[in-house]
Amino acid sequence: MFKWRTVAAALVAVAIIVAGCGDGAGTTTTAGGVSSPDDIVFGEGEMPATIPAEFPLPTGSSIGSTMVVTTTGFTEMVARISADQGVTAEYFNENLKQAGFTVDVSEANQDAWLIEFTYQDAHGTIDISTPTSGISQAVIRYNVP
């Protein structure tokens, strides 16, 4: 069930290694569909275009770092929400369904809440944690392989 964490962690590790290595001459093929540092786009502050416009975010959410692997469409976005973990999970459970997404799994486990969802042909996950009291952090992954 948590295979996506391993895949996502591997993609991030590959992205960091690929971005930090090499002289820019030529293309190096690596795991996860990343063939060069140019295949990874990092951003901050706004939702990447690879996440459907219908994707719901609570009012007042703050979007932090984003990463898009352009060759596969895999997208990761971190958002901070001014609500406890349970309230945030409830928001996503209700609003994903209203926006046309299917919630496949929604469960609390140890220190986080995991939501797995599908939208059209894409699979996604939301991993909600509580970095500090009254604040939730949602790591949203879309188009997960």
Per-residue model confidence as pLDDT tens digits over 84-107: 999 999 999 999 999 999 999 999
Q: What is the pLDDT of residue 35?
A: 60
Give the tens place of pLDDT for each residue, 18-47.
Answer: 344 433 333 333 445 556 777 999 999 999
| Cα 59 to Cα 28: distance, rounded to the nearest angstrom | 41
pLDDT of 58 strictly over 50: yes
What residue type is assigned to position 130 of the chain? Answer: T
pLDDT of 78 strictly over 90: yes
pLDDT of 134 strictly over 80: yes
CATH number at residue 45: 3.40.1000
| Cα 74 to Cα 104: distance, rounded to the nearest angstrom | 19
Of residues 17 and 140, more confidence is placed in: 140
Split into its structural domains, the chain has a count of 1
pLDDT of 1 strictly over 50: no
Model confidence, pTM:
0.75
b/e 98-137 (16+ beta carbons within 10 angstroms → b): eeebeeeebeeeeebbbbbbebeebebbbbbebeeeebbb
Half-sphere exposure of 21 (CA within 13 A, CB side): 12
Which among 118, 99, 141 is positioned nearest to 4, based on CA atoms? 141
Instruction: Kindly indicate the confidence band of residue 110, based on its pLDDT and cuts at 50, 70 and 90.
Output: confident
Domain span at residue 21?
A: 3-142
| Cα 22 to Cα 16: distance, rounded to the nearest angstrom | 12
